[in-house]
Amino acid sequence: MTMTKALLPATATLVALLISACGALAERSPAPIGQSPAPTEPSRAADSCAIARPDFGGVATAADRSLFAYDVSAPLNLQKTVESTASNGVEVSTISFSSPDGGSVTGLLFDPVRRSGPRPGIVLMHGMPGTARSVTGQGLGLAEHGAVVIAIDAPFARRSGQAVRFTAADRAEQIQLIKDLQRAVDVLRTRPNVNSKRIAYLGISYGGAMGALFVGIERRLEAAVLVVGDGGLVSHFTGPEDLGFMGSLSCATRVGWFRLMAPIEPIRFIPHASPTPLLLQNGRLDVLVPEADAQALHRAVPEPRTIRWYDAGHGLNSQALIDRHDWLNARIGLDLLKPPG
């Protein structure tokens, strides 16, 4: 997450973390899910001035999950403007639609308009900072292989200022993001060339972390891929790479932010993903998402799940792309991936 110099140097790692292919946690793992105090109660760690990662509580409750409910019957008010159509038949359009929490969700639609028959649909989520345009390459690649893809701008990407502000606004925007992603599924389901039973989610870095929350809420996904994701923003900022930065915040700011964000930490929600199949991809050489942090998220993931490790850094490698394509193809049906060269 590229933040201003006021949030550096400790947040320098978060810069890469949340650029279109990033996400970061720490070596210290959260307490085992399901073996903690009730999620509605402030954790003891958050009640002190300690910088240590707070106890996230048990698996998210029905009340926790109700925070992300929205009016499914509300008008989408979808607006679409075609920007270009590539020689491979992929039409790229800017789109906007109503956000359940007010305003408009903006983003891009990648549509293989020359392909026949109902197509699979994919919701694609970028990193932090970043925008839908940050994942244009991924969107084009997926559409070239037959998927109708929506990439939305996160709420922080639709305003000015730092992506994370360590205020109540961060909680409101994370809740809004999950509602906006659900509305993106609604948009895909309205497309005449999309098979509503073949919709998947692909999140990269921050998109992978928030995907851990999204898959615990959205029941209409046929599959989901979380690429170099982590347990969430609190997990990241309480990692060893950011302890210096967290120490620069006042005790009141730190405690208040923990109390607001820990109850909606994605790692609490991913146990509700079942029966949606999940693919999690991580790199053993990733300095932004240490292996212990990735494993902490993996432990919270229910079956059916597929976990893939690569001898690579945060950007992974070409084998990860091939594995991702093959895995999605087996579940929602993509066109064949041509070998390099």
Tally: H helices and E strands in the chain:
11, 9
Domain of residue 328, residue span:
5-332
Q: What is the pLDDT of residues 72-81, one digit of tens each?
A: 999 999 999 9
Asked if residue 171 belongs to a domain, the reply is yes
Average pLDDT over residues 28-35: 29
Report yes or no on 338 lying in a domain.
no
Name the one residue in this structure whose structure tokens are 């851990």. Answer: 212
User: pLDDT tens digits for 181-217?
Assistant: 999 999 999 999 999 999 999 999 999 999 999 999 9
pLDDT of residue 141: 96
The DSSP bridge pattern shows strands 79-85 and 148-152 to be: unpaired
Higher pLDDT, 35 or 266: 266
Q: Which of 13-27, 127-141, 253-267, 310-324 has the lowest mean pLDDT?
A: 13-27
Domain contains 341: no
Mean pLDDT value of segment 83-87? 92
Name the H helices within the chain: 12-17, 44-47, 62-65, 136-144, 168-190, 206-214, 233-237, 243-248, 251-261, 291-300, 318-332
Q: Is residue 196 part of a domain?
A: yes
Average pLDDT over residues 133-160: 97
pLDDT tens for residues 255-265?
Answer: 999 999 999 99
Range name among 19-28, 144-153, 284-293 with the lowest pLDDT average: 19-28
User: Is the Cβ–Cβ distance between 134 and 126 less than 8 Å?
Assistant: yes
Query: How many domains does the chain divide into?
Result: 1
Task: Name the band, by pLDDT with cuts 50, 70 and 90, for residue 290.
Answer: confident
- How sure is the predictor about 226, in pLDDT bands with cuts at 50, 70 and 90? very high
More confident residue, 53 or 65: 65
- Residue 24: the pLDDT is 29
- Is residue 337 assigned to a domain? no
% of the chain exceeding 70 in pLDDT: 84
Average pLDDT, stretch 28-36? 29
Torsion angle, alpha carbons of 63, 261, 215, 93, to 10: 120
Would you place residue 323 in the very low, low, confident or very high pLDDT band (cuts 50, 70, 90)? very high
β-strand partners of 282: 309
Q: Largest alpha-carbon pair distance within the chain?
A: 59
Least confident window among 144-148, 209-213, 286-290: 286-290
Check residue 87 and give its pLDDT: 85
**pLDDT of the residue at 118:** 94
Please state, as a whole number, how many other Cβ atoms lie within 10 Å of the Cβ of residue 268: 29
Cβ–Cβ under 8 Å, residues 235 and 53: yes
The more confidently predicted of residues 47 and 335 is 335
Inter-residue contact 77 to 269 (CB < 8 Å): no
Q: What is the pLDDT of residue 14?
A: 31
* Residue 339 resides in a domain: no
Mean pLDDT, all residues of the chain: 86
255 within some domain: yes
Which string of b and e fits 297-326 if b means at least 16 CB within 10 Å?
bbebbbeebeebbbebbbbbeeebbebbbe
Q: What is the pLDDT of residue 194?
A: 98
CATH assignment of the domain containing 142: 3.40.50.1820
**Angle, vertex CA 107, rays to CA 270 and CA 164, nearest 5:** 55
Of 271, 199, 190, residue with least CA distance to 231 = 271
For residues 182 and 73, give the distance between their C-alpha atoms in angstroms, rounded to a whole number: 12
- What pLDDT sits at residue 337? 61
Q: pTM of the prediction? A: 0.85
Cβ contact 204:230 at 8 Å: no
